[in-house]
Amino acid sequence: MSKTDDVFQRRLQKHHDELKWLYMELYHNDSMFAELCTNLYQYYKERRQALKKRDEKREQDPDWFKRNDMLGMMLYIDNFAGNLQGVRQKLPYLSSCNVNCIHLMPFLDTPKGRSDGGYAVADFRKVRPDLGTMEELAGLADMCHKRDMNLCMDFVMNHTSEEHEWAVRARAGEGEYMSRYFFYDSYEIPGRYEQTVPQVFPTTAPGNFTYLPDIGHYVMTTFYPYQWDLNYANPRVFNEMMYNFLFFANQGMDIIRIDAVPYIWKELGTKCRNLPQVHTIVRMMRMIGEIVCPSVALLGEVVMEPEKVAPYFGTVEKPECHMLYNVTTMASTWNCVATKDVRLLQQQMEIVNRLPKQYTFLNYLRCHDDIGWGLDYGFLRKWGMEEVPHKRFLNDYFRGRVEGSVSRGELYNDDPVTRDARFCGTTASMCGVESAEFEGSKEKLDEAVRLDVMLHAYMLAQSGIPMLYSGDEIGQVNDYSYKENPDKAEDSRYIHRGRFRWELAEKRQDAASMQGRIFAALDKLETIRREEKVFGASSDVHVYYVHNDSVLCILREQEGERFFGIFNFSDGEQTAWMQEDGEYTDLLSGEKILLKDVRIAGHDFYWIKGRR
């Protein structure tokens, strides 16, 4: 046995018993487990030397992804740079944005017009031809690694496209492939599922099943009708999907985003969300990664209420995901922008701050999806805010239909029954950049930029890893051109998935332009965040109460050093009522500042450092 085999054996030994136990619990299938183990070794052997080195390094430094220089950006390859080669050429631009983690939005082969933005994968081993090839992807990963950058991709594991080979063979009646999905020859069982399973896209894709008239069967389609849910109760599905995961790890991915993971296990009579078997599968995936490719981190996409999210970290002894989206905090942030009242955000941050420090959240203001108003309504009810009318208020507010609102955007999946609409728009449009530019008002544009920068400053001060949305660094506004494309017109999420406007990005060099102001402000904040150790993952993060419901204050403490981020969510001047002794410096201006009843202009903020 070679030395490298020793490495594999050591890692396998560490996890073998638990992995086998969990596998048998789900599948009771020795030969499939043996096949899995053989393949783990195969993928390990095929892993490039450079990646094995990365594995070794990160085994020694398991907190690599928590460092305060980590800054992500999510982008669509075609919108941003045409294709993979284009992204390669734009790496210097991303470095100039301080970004060292690039999340490439779905890029695998997908049928045009029936793709859900790439989330309907037709071939897990093939890049969409207009974007490039698998070799180019691996080449990009190498190049990123040389520049000390990380690459992240989506692993769409809940479903495949109806054009995936398995689906095509299932539709042709091959039993072996039908068993990889959920097929029913009558509506009886689908009907029973529909009684308990909620809907993801109630208006754009109602129901959880699709009837296939050509073969007289129903197939389960939780998302769009062309996204067929995989049946993870079939060990063949689990094994093959793990091979796909390892295949991507071997292309050089650093972070794998497991898409829609709460949905992967289905059980009649339940909501088919967050079932215990989902956690078994994620735990097995974590161990498989640690055996074959320990430098790869799992990012769970769990867009659920807070009590459902944290369990996806697993326990400290038996971890599942390395990182999770801080989704409730994101939605609560926008709620506070609309209400100018930060109490909900304070309470949400308290919940997050109480979790073990090992748990790392990915913070963001906007992403490619809509904002679902998943807020703590039990808490809001104390001030008379009921769920349905409050959601209506938020949607009206952000569409600019409420007195004083400067936001612009559109509804998404306005469910006629539950009136549970969600919202789409870019950060800049939600902050008023679009309406100010339309009106040609310099004053309103100043206010919009201030709010936009304040929200970024707040996001960068949270505990966890910040993830920017491409275009936000130059204040890119909504793009309405999707309405002219019949493949996209029905899905308002495309309003914030527009082409990156390089011609506007040019203006970032001009300090007086809107683009230049946002770009320079973010650059400064990101640089401070990277350089100051008070932003380190081990610092204590608290909500600090300043007795003003419009002002949020985050306190970070590390080895005697203290950082205060004070954010005014109202448009008028406010006072942060506080009395702190000691020496403090405004990190942005470099000037000394007294932490005694600090006055802050509307939508402005302070980043302050000092000692007691």
Binding site for ligand GLC (CB under 6 A): 116-117, 119, 156, 223, 259-260, 301, 368-369
Q: Between 468 and 576, name the residue whose CB sits nearer to ligand GLC.
A: 468
Distance CA 266, CA 460 (A): 37
Measured from the CB atom, the residue of 229 and 526 that comes closer to ligand GLC is: 229
Q: How far apart (Å, rounded) are the C-alpha atoms in residues 349 and 369?
A: 22
Nearer Cβ to ligand GLC, position 116 or 434? 116
* Residue placing its CB nearer to ligand GLC in the complex, 55 or 116: 116
Compute the distance between CA of residue 352 and CA of residue 361 in angstroms, rounded to an integer.
9
**Shortest spacing between CB 108 and ligand GLC, in angstroms:** 12
Smallest distance, ligand GLC to C-beta of residue 480, A = 19
How far apart are alpha carbons 138 and 153 in whole angstroms?
Answer: 12
User: Of 452, 593, 459, which Cα lies nearest the Cα of 535?
Assistant: 459
Of 221 and 339, CB closest to ligand GLC: 221
The minimum distance between CB 430 and ligand GLC, in angstroms, equals: 19
Shortest Å, Cβ 327 to ligand GLC: 11
Residue 359 CB, nearest distance to ligand GLC (Å)? 21
| Distance between CA atoms of residues 595 and 574, nearest Å | 14
Would you say 369 or 557 has its CB closer to ligand GLC? Answer: 369
The residue sitting closest to ligand GLC, measured at its beta carbon, is: 119
Which residue, 117 or 139, is less far from ligand GLC as judged by CB?
117
CB 256 within 8 A of CB 153: yes
Q: Which is nearer to ligand GLC, 260 or 451 (CB)?
A: 260
Residue 529's nearest CA partner among 605, 598, 609 is 609
Question: Which phi and psi (to 5°) does residue 608 adopt?
Answer: -125, 140
Report the residue number, 117 or 536, with the smaller CB distance to ligand GLC. Answer: 117
| DSSP per-residue letters across 350-414 | HHHHHS-TT-EEEE-S--SS-B-----HHHHGGGT--HHHHHHHHHHHHTT-STT-----EEE--
User: Residue 491 CB, nearest distance to ligand GLC (Å)?
Assistant: 9
**Which of 57, 263, 243 shows the shortest CA–CA distance to 148?**
57
What minimum distance in Å lies between the beta carbon of 522 and ligand GLC? 24
464 closest CA partner among 258, 307, 274, 309 = 309
Instruction: Output the CA torsion sign for 165, 170, 175, 177.
Output: positive
| Six-digit token string for 592 | 């000394």
Nearest approach in angstroms of CB 180 to ligand GLC is 17
Residue with tokens 């707040």: 458
Alpha helices in 421-498 (DSSP H): 427-431, 433-439, 442-461
Shortest Å distance, C-beta 25 to ligand GLC: 27
Q: Classify the C-alpha dihedral 411-347-522-259 as positive or negative.
A: negative
